[in-house]
Structure 1
């Protein structure tokens, strides 16, 4: 084992993890890993093309374009920019509307950081399809394990784990794709660690647009670290779990270093990726599903409902109980809003979170009848899963109860490959042509047999 990789951190757990992941570029991935990586790529690109239409994504792309064209494609835009700028714009577009993937147990959105990084590195280095897929698998794994090893302390302190773990995952992924030396990998991770950040102040009544940026920051900071390290810029070797490293600074008492290397080669993060069906915070999906089921089976109309009680975790009661969201972001984090929407409209429709639907009288009236409470069984499951128990009481006294332990799209109830392709078609319809939609799907589907990435990048440029 190279001494540089061994010295990235003091812990043997992290040494084994980094060595294991950098070695992926030298082996052929299993068919299951390749398929999972392709589907993660497809889903993130769908989210980016859909997300690129919103003001926050357009602003970020405009900033990325200020220095002119570059070697990396802007997803959904048709233009190009420098690697760092393109990663910022593409990560923001992916994370633009709460539809991007989630890794359970780590509370991170891996795709928003990793996918822009691997695309930037691959387009610059003219990498092979196999290198691209290896980078995706490596990036998701580091993102998931680091997020899980940090525990719940970062969230309690007000940090968004996506942009804490994201820069390191993006940096490693870019290094794997571009075939960097182990010394460069070590420096890139050290540099990336100094950019870990992201406050959860966006959960306040006026959250603004900044949460959308967190995916872009993770991606762009990782790409910046890779580019600097590839030019000889050195970084600290103990930045993951050495003194004042990411684990110590963000994880504190909840850190669990053993998670970094436990069961390597087993239960890969990319194979248990949560593909989201609802455009809202992942903690809310089970409540929305449960209420959809009650609505369908009971045939209750909004006027028939007297009260709704949602049993959830302490974290959700603190974080997701906004009774008067005024912006799409705060609505997407509000259980009362999403619960009311599930009972009166379509909680899966992104347009329902935008003005004027955001202030729909039927939804606002239903919200007044919704109460959250801490359910001990549900709370004990957090953060490994996000179950919900709901109780709907009708005006005539009838009660309808439903518990959903695992949302559709999670590893316990995964989306099929065809469902993910259907999500791609749904999100991109109207933004790009049907021919472009099918070409992107086909180009990604054939990556494990392709000799180059030319077809994919041509399809992405034409589809913008």
Structure 2
């Protein structure tokens, strides 16, 4: 049984402080490093969305957006020539950004928490349909949304025991998306608290433990970044229309922390040093299109293969990791692209076969490829007690070791203690730009080298991103 903890006395002013910061942050208030970080995360998210939009399931999301939206709406759909309502465009574009599971995250002390870029950038694109937005306004909106988003999820982190009972990956991102859309769509500052309360009420329930882990395929809306983006945009439009939302949604023993099933709330993490200490600087980038929990095993495989002194064929790939890898992430025959992102055997097979990371791992041809099936069947997975303890503890840190046995009898091994891409094991901006270039290349969209260079340098130079991502009509 867990003990619930509410830090700091209930002063009743947390929500107004958050809303005031969210509404009034200026681009000139941001450290130069954070401005550059925002531009890099924007580039990464747009690249993931551009490539992800080509998946059949992303086309289905666009079809849903068209059916439920407005054909005369102002908001662009990534990968299509037409437009729809802001709310439904936010849904479809966030889905595309997360479709490859290659999109960014928030990482604090090695613990990954959500995929903020997918929801927040989708909310920004939904607002851009109303007309050009200055680069400074875009950066400030994304910075405000990301800062509140990251502080909020940090403040409601549950105990290790409660995490294994109830948790959600993207539910808090409705609030971050609402901040971004409110600022870029011109919601009056005094209505920000109402929008945040409505977003908190509209976001989906936390459901990480109902992803069909043992009754595959994995749910299509994994991570729930798309419903969160939709909820954030809808909340702002309801606030604009005069709807009343809950006041003080972050405050007290019945606040947002309780709404999302946590048994912990750290008010200081939400508001202390707001505007001086920047949690938005703690963004992380993915180096593999896969569930973050599997990144150490994928990297360990690549390291082991590089160490191998043979060109002989692979006979066996042996993995040691935490228990959930073998229990939940070991299905060798994923049914669709989403399912494949949670299948370590399939992902290792793609690496072993030399497929470029990204879209090629999840095409219908890849999922049906007998050669990949044969490689996936050579993967064995066992639980390592120490790695399981590290994952089940408060740090929730995934790790893995891989041994590759070759046909000539040789073996190569490697172990990885944490995923790359966050503060524990950062990657350079050049690596992120290279990843983005590869994904834009897979997208089939007409994105010029100049545009890519501008985005990579800084979002400040952009005034209207919407025209960049229009694919063929009906896509």
Smaller-chain TM-score bracket: 0.7 to 0.9
Q: 1:342 aligns with which of 328, 341, 351?
A: 351
Q: 2:89 aligns with which of 70, 73, 86?
A: 86
Following superposition of structure 1 onto structure 2, how do residues 258-277 of structure 1 map, counting pairs within 5 Å?
258-265=268-275, 268-277=278-287
Q: Are residue 73 (structure 1) and residue 76 (structure 2) matched?
A: yes
Structure 1 pair 331/347, CA: closer, same or farther in 2 (3 Å)? farther
1:6 alignment partner in structure 2: none
Comparing 252-261 and 359-368, the one that deviates more? 359-368
Following superposition of structure 1 onto structure 2, how do residues 38-437 of structure 1 map, counting pairs within 5 Å?
38-66=39-67, 67-104=70-107, 105-124=111-130, 126-152=132-158, 156-157=164-165, 159-162=167-170, 164-197=171-204, 199-200=207-208, 201-204=210-213, 205-207=215-217, 210-211=220-221, 214-265=224-275, 268-299=278-309, 303=313, 305-306=315-316, 308-312=318-322, 314-346=323-355, 348-366=357-375, 367-377=377-387, 379-380=389-390, 383=395, 385-392=397-404, 400-429=412-441, 431-432=443-444, 436=448
Query: Displacement of 1:306 after TM fit?
Result: 4.6
Q: TM-score, normalised by structure 2?
A: 0.83
CA distance in 2, matches of 1:345, 1:319: 25
Query: Displacement of 1:357 after TM fit?
Result: 2.4
Higher RCO (C-alpha under 8 Å, 6+ residues apart): 2
CA distance in 2, matches of 1:49, 1:89: 12
CA distance in 1, matches of 2:458, 2:411: 50
CA distance in 1, matches of 2:195, 2:290: 33
The answer on whether the counterparts of 2:307 and 2:412 sit within 8 Å (CA) in structure 1 is no
The answer on whether the counterparts of 1:310 and 1:390 sit within 8 Å (CA) in structure 2 is yes
The answer on whether the counterparts of 1:45 and 1:75 sit within 8 Å (CA) in structure 2 is no
1:4 alignment partner in structure 2: none
Q: TM-score, normalised by structure 1?
A: 0.85
The answer on whether the counterparts of 2:24 and 2:189 sit within 8 Å (CA) in structure 1 is no
CA distance in 2, matches of 1:208, 1:38: 32
1:3 alignment partner in structure 2: none
The answer for unaligned runs of 5 or more in structure 1 is 1-8
SS at match of 1:161: coil
What is the aligned length?
Answer: 451
SS at match of 1:237: coil
Q: RMSD in angstroms over aligned alpha carbons?
A: 3.2
